[in-house]
Amino acid sequence: GESVGLHLPTLSVQEGDNSIINCAYSNSASDFFIWYKQESGKGPQFIIDIRSNMDKRQGQRVTVLLNKTVKHLSLQIAATQPGDSAVYFCAENREPGSNTGKLIFGQGTTLQVKP
Partner 1 sequence: ETGVTQSPTHLIKTRGQQVTLRCSSQSGHNTVSWYQQALGQGPQFIFQYYREEENGRGNFPPRFSGLQFPNYSSELNVNALELDDSALYLCASSRGQRPGNEQFFGPGTRLTVL
As a whole number of angstroms, the distance between CA 78 and CA 46 comes to: 17
Q: Which residues bind partner 1 (CB under 8 A)?
A: 1-4, 31-32, 36, 41-46, 49, 89, 91, 93, 95, 98-108
The least distance separating partner 1 from the CB of residue 103, rounded to whole angstroms, comes to 6
Nearer to partner 1, 43 or 83 (CB): 43
Pick 40 or 115: Cβ nearer partner 1:
40
- Taking the least distance from each CB to partner 1, the nearer of 60 and 115 is 60
Burial track 1-11 (b if 16+ CB lie within 10 A, e otherwise) = eeebebeeeeb
Rg (CA), the chain: 14
